Amino acid sequence: MSPLLIAGICAVMVGTSFLSGVFGMAGGMVLIGVLLTVLPVQTAMALHAVTQIASNAWRAMLWWRHVRWRPVAAYLVGCAIALAVWTIWLFVPSKPLALLFLGVTPFLARLIPEGRRLTPHSFPHGVTIGVTCMSLLLLTGVAGPLLDQYFLGGTLERRQIIATKSTCQIFGHGIKLLYFGALIDQVGTVDPTLAGLAIASAMLGTLLSKKVLEAMSDTTYRRWAGHLITAVSGFYVIQGSWLLATG
């Protein structure tokens, strides 16, 4: 990998970690789209997992007092169930399929009637979202859009959302790294130097976002978070559809 490409990837990682640090979402979607464009699926998934573990761990540390542990426990139960099922198949998606699933998921989540949407206040709902999100992590690399809808549907305030979601994502991406880095037949490998730069970039972007989040109101946070997810998801639907159509 050329130094210019590495520098470009690190710059994207700083930017996407900043975006996720402010809104708790969207950054991972942008990053996996870029990585899938320039790297093989397995390597993109493994590198994305390393970056997201670092980014989410740093956010969780910054806001650890706001973590709500009951939704985290429910999410972990669901992740364990999903991993047990997917290790039987060990499926690796193609790039077009991964991008298309990535874009469609948030729109499907919004089709669920408001009265039937999952919320972080129910343990069974948390298990269900854990199973679904872990499956999406293995299919698309991210589960943020669905997890965003889950947390935004409750009554948690913005710091509680970011802290709790980040804690869930640490475990989710850790399982994804295990899956693509050790369990599948053709595992993805990540250069240790690139992994170190990725972690540093993720931490820098997250640190820069802290003051921006503190200055933002809950109303502004929720409004812009929804707009971001719609824009990024729409782009990936178009990109994935184009790749499928052109082969």
Instruction: For the chain, list residues with pLDDT below 70.
Output: 24-25
Tokens of 135: 């499956």
* pLDDT of amino acid 211: 82
Residues 219-228 have pLDDT tens digits of: 787 778 778 8
Residues 125-135 have pLDDT tens digits of: 999 999 999 99
Q: Look up tokens 């976002």; give the residue.
A: 209
* pLDDT of amino acid 62: 86
Instruction: Give the residue among 173, 152, 117 at the shortest CA–CA distance from 224.
Output: 152
DSSP of 82-119: HHHHHHHH-----HHHHHHHHHHHHHHHHTS-GGG---
* pLDDT of amino acid 227: 81
CA distance 5 to 1: 7
* pLDDT of amino acid 190: 87
Q: How many residues does the chain have?
A: 247
CA distance 153 to 142: 19
CA distance 56 to 162: 9
* pLDDT of amino acid 247: 72
pTM comes to: 0.85
* pLDDT of amino acid 86: 94
